[in-house]
Chains A and B, each alone.
Chain A
Amino acid sequence: MGARTAGELDLDLDKLFAARLLAVRTRPYLATALFALHVVESRRVPTMAVDRHWRCYVSPVFVNRTPVEELAGVWVHEVSHLLRDHHGRGDRVARERGLTGPGARLLMNIAADCEINDDVFGDGLVMPEGAVTPDSLGLTSGELMEDYLRRIGLGSGMQHLAWLDCGSGADGLDREWDLGSDGAHGLSAQQQDAVRFRVAQAVKGRPGSTPKGWKRWAEEAFHPPQPWRELLGAAVRSAASASGAGEDYSYGRPSRRSAGVPGAVLPSLRRRPPRVTVIVDTSGSVSDAELGGALLEVAAISRAVGGRRDLVTVMSCDAAARTVHPLCRAEDIPLVGGGGTDLRTGFSRALRTAPRPDVIVVLTDGQTAWPDDRPPCRTVVGLFPRDGSRGGSWVENDPDYEPDTPPDWARVVTIG
């Protein structure tokens, strides 16, 4: 830190720690993370900044001129950057979209600030002076840093934000004041994970008052949601290529190697393309775009695992015919059946066809009865969540209402 000349301010640690205490009192679930930050006095940061090793750089002048209640907000804001891994995500975005230079990183900092500021304040915590919110940029709140980053550009009207700097912990760009990975009091990646885990547990343990953004973060901190296309693809692919279907060894034809081992019966590789039947059952709550996307996805996957178009069959219920008919015509898929909203009739109809399908894929919103017995083929369920029933089924007018959940013999992928 070097020798101080007369007239330079000392860092008012009492004020800074009083603010942290206030932050801990209003947001008890963040206590572990707030206390894990190591304070470093720095005259080169404009306000407060964090680095990727959980050090918090503090400007004495900033602490001096900012009231305790606003400082508490800044503490929570800075620790949010670290908990939400903005530096790691910033690096990933930069790599994916080819963003370089400090200008892009400043935008990332602003986008990350938007993600934090839209729901972290209030309820005992004051928003610091000059904090940037999605509203102030004309954006809708409640989105992620990556989404905001797409919307904003360094045009006019953003220049006044150029003073803003939350450090390398917020956008991944190393600053000259950073102590780096060799410096003292840094947290290793595992220690950071441990702190995140403790905070996530604390958030999950507190029903009710926790802001939605934190709840979402706690849910996804260690299990980021996967795109449904990948999950559905993996489920259908594994169902279609599992033994009994698809490419596998069979004794139906002599092996190429039989000549080498006379007298022995060896299996040979045979291709038996899987038959896939798609049962579409919607009660009108599913958008055509979603349904079309899912249906095309299933068709593409069954082709990828060696299926032919004539082996993909679609059975529809009346409500969905509007989408399903043209799609099947365009894709050259035979459309069978129709009518009946009870999924059980769909199953029995699909199983009556000869030869029997290897895989049944059901696209449904789940508001239906399911067969009691496991069907004699692999089943994948693509489940469209109904409006308002995300995160567990619950109907406002009838709290006791509980639709049947898909049975455990089916592999369930939530779509959308």
Chain B
Amino acid sequence: MLLSSPSPAQLDVADELLALLRDSTTEPRPDDQLEALTLAVAADLPVLLWGEPGIGKTAALTQLAESLDLPLTTVIASVHEPSDFSGLPVIGDDPAEQGVPMAPPDWAVRLVKAGRGLLFLDELSTAPPAVQAALLRLVLERRVGALRLPAGVRIVAAANPRASAADGWELSPPLANRFVHLQWTHDHEVVVRGLGGTWPRATLPVLDPERLPHAVDHARRAVCGLLATRPTLVHRLPSGETRRGGAWPSPRSWEMSLRLIAFATAAGSSREVISLLVRGTVGDGPGLELLASLDRMDLPDPETLLADPAGAELPERGDLRQAALDGVVAAVGARPEKSRWDAAWALLARAVETGAPDLVVVPATTLAALRRAEWDVPPTIERLAGAVSMSRRADEAAALVANAPVAR
């Protein structure tokens, strides 16, 4: 039966239903993109979240603000005018004498009074160009009218990918270079489970004060090690229409990258998180090269391996193991001595006994070629017999293929 106007009792029932709907639990779940966002915010770098509308960017920001214990201020860019960000002119008694102060909006005043907070600029992409221009000054110079936001305020912006943006929001390369670009995607499983009543609760990274010096050293070695050998990676303007508006490498973005690696290292974050941050800063190609050089930094030092072949710990993964063995052979080639050559053979023998023998074949061939006439073949080489016969077997099969009739 419908009542002409809902009685208070009806509304109470509605409240009860709403309370039941709101009643949900949380479960811990690792969330790489949230962790990356947290680290970038902690590192005080401007972050730009790219993502379709309605996939939980605001919810993520709320969680982030809670965990960082910062009050959250959300500003929807598309409902503001440029003067809301560049300041409203207020004319006093004698403008010629005193000038016209640009008065900031109330949220900015409150932020400055609080001294700290998380400012979320939502829907950057649907604002008119003049508003976007005013906003970028806010993001990059932290100025709202005559006010300067204090250092304790962290800024995150969100934009829709340009394919779905109604008008042509797009960053020019100099602007794009100042942001950490994070692609925000939703996890189907998380959404289904959340609507069923269990939302994820991410455990956010905590910086470990004891690891700070190590983190800085690690990050510097990673970035400098790569750029020293690959000078062309230092600065590369994006070319082509597909890569516009995204991350690209420049000294500035490499510095951001270095800072983010240090933060991620100090927080003990996974390689996945570092990958999101680095690729969001210098772009995919240079980012992947940096990650590859991080992988190489994790490989055991060739000199350590040569010093103690019997107790050497080789990587489990085949490709990394071969990279480590190649490094050892290269080290022997750089300083050829009989004792080092013998140690390398012992190491290869150990590799054959503890893992797949096929990946020892190439390093062994290279090592054999380093032999000097006066060097005797060490007895350890017999332990490589398995690898040698395997190599012969592969040769025979190759010969069979080569001699077989072409048509099948």
Contact = CB atoms under 8 A, between A and B. Distances in A.
Of residues B162, B271, B319, which shows the largest number of chain A Cβ atoms within 10 Å of its Cβ? B319
A225 B288 contact: no
A369 interface: no
Contacts of A262: 91
A284 B318 CA distance: 55
Interface residues of A, number: 76
Contacts of A226: 241-242
B358 A21 contact: yes
A239 interface: yes
B100 A243 contact: no
Interface in A400-416: 411-414
Interface in A233-292: 234-243, 246-249, 255, 257, 261-267, 269
A370 interface: no
B167 to A, nearest CB: 5
Interface string B57-88: 00000000000000000000000011100001
Interface stretch (A100-108, A123-131, A324-332, A348-356): A123-131
B129 interface: yes
A15 B100 CA distance: 84
A175 interface: no
Contacts of B133: 243
Contacts of B292: 194, 197-198
Interface stretch (B40-48, B220-228, B333-341, B400-408): B400-408
B356 interface: yes
B91 A36 contact: no
Closest 7 pairs (CB-CB, A-B): A238-B168, A237-B168, A35-B318, A263-B91, A68-B397, A17-B358, A18-B393
Interface of A: 13-15, 17-22, 24-26, 31-39, 67-69, 72, 124-127, 185, 187-191, 193-195, 197-198, 222-223, 225-226, 230-231, 234-243, 246-249, 255, 257, 261-267, 269, 304-305, 411-414
B176 interface: no
Interface string B224-241: 000000000000000001
B168 A266 contact: no
B170 A238 contact: yes
Contacts of A255: 81
Interface of B: 81-83, 88-91, 100, 128-130, 133, 162-163, 166-170, 241-243, 270-272, 274-275, 284-285, 288-289, 291-292, 295, 316-319, 321-322, 356-359, 361, 386, 389-391, 393-394, 396-398, 400-402, 404, 408
Contact of A17 (B91, B271, B356, B400): B356
Given A14-B386, A68-B397, A190 B275 contact: yes
Nearest to A54: B317
A67 B243 contact: no
Q: Mostly helix, strand, loop or mixed at chain B's interface?
A: helix
A264 B275 contact: no
A264 B89 contact: yes
Nearest to B162: A234
Given A14-B389, A197-B292, A267-B83, 12 more contacts: A17-B357, A17-B390, A35-B317, A69-B401, A222-B285, A231-B241, A238-B168, A255-B81, A257-B81, A264-B90, A269-B81, A411-B241
A234 B90 CA distance: 38
B288 A197 contact: yes
B190 to A, nearest CB: 15
Nearest to B323: A32
15 contacts: A14-B386, A17-B357, A17-B358, A124-B398, A126-B408, A127-B408, A190-B270, A193-B288, A241-B167, A243-B129, A243-B133, A249-B130, A267-B130, A269-B128, A411-B241
Of residues B90, B170, B272, B394, which shows the largest number of chain A Cβ atoms within 10 Å of its Cβ? B394
Nearest to A227: B163
Of residues B169, B390, B393, which shows the largest number of chain A Cβ atoms within 10 Å of its Cβ? B390
